[in-house]
Amino acid sequence: MPCYCMLLPHSRQTLYLRQRDSSETDGDYKLLSCALFLQSLADDSCRSSCCVLNADLVLPTLNMPYTITYFAVRGRCGAMKIMLTDQDQEWKEVEISFDDWMKGDLKATCVFGQLPKFQDGDLELVQSNAILRHLGRNHGAYGSNDKEASQIDMMNDGVEDLRLKYVKLIYQEYDTGKDKYIQELSDHLSKFEAVLAKNKAGFLVGNKVSFADYNLFDILLNHQVLCPTCLDKFPALKAFSAMMSARPKIKAFLDSDAWKKLPINGNGKQ
């Protein structure tokens, strides 16, 4: 009879336990799903051999979807939705009209008077980059060590700098500044090109996808609508965009009506 010796959190949707068979040496463990563990508890003979640590884990919270409250645009939620999709996570959406937002009731409940608002159980967050970092921590998309985590923070801040320039163009300078913006875009993209060309794994940092990769991919999608040829001079960025687009869950999501029906920005300009 296998001995179940530890229950520990592995992700927000699944709890894992370590199983050691009598034939295995000490320290040799297998990861099993929580469902298998709970099934085993129904067996009296097995239950007697179970030792559950972290007894304060609350099982009813499993499979609770996240909730995103935002306008009916991609905007600041594009990256997080792409990330959630790729990480096989579910979420609920609460769409807010601009008229309802201007009434002020919801705005008063947001710490900085801004959307998106993100809920993870009893945790409520605003600020899109804080949300991405939270998801990165939750789903193993924050590097493999502290050094990589710091580098990912740095790269994400670089993506935010580019996004702020893009937002200023879209909402303030589109009619008068589009040509100039596109002329200067190569200088901004070249920084990311250099990083990706140096890291042969294909990601911004390390050898696995991070929340900064999802964020960069999202803003590149926006720019490829603004200027379809913007990546032509940047082979590493072009390969990165193609790689992210080809990830099966992302590909299916970008092809879905849920994605396609939403405008990129709130004023119809792109």
pLDDT in tens, 114-160: 999 999 999 999 999 999 999 999 999 999 999 999 999 999 999 99
Q: Give me the percent of the chain exceeding a pLDDT of 90.
A: 71
CA distance 89 to 134: 14
Nearest CA to 78 among 269, 220, 243, 226? 220
Tokens 């900064």 label which residue? 212
251 CB neighbour count, 10 Å cutoff: 14
Q: Which amino acid is at 56?
A: D
Q: Is the separation of the CB atoms in 8 and 16 below 8 Å?
A: yes
What percent of the chain has a predicted confidence (pLDDT) above 70?
76
As a whole number of angstroms, the distance between CA 95 and CA 81 comes to 14
Take residue 168 and report the two structure tokens written for it.
């200023």
pLDDT in tens, 176-202: 999 999 999 999 999 999 999 999 999
What six digits make up the tokens of 6? 């530890």
Which helix H or strand E contains 94, and what residues bound it?
strand 91-95
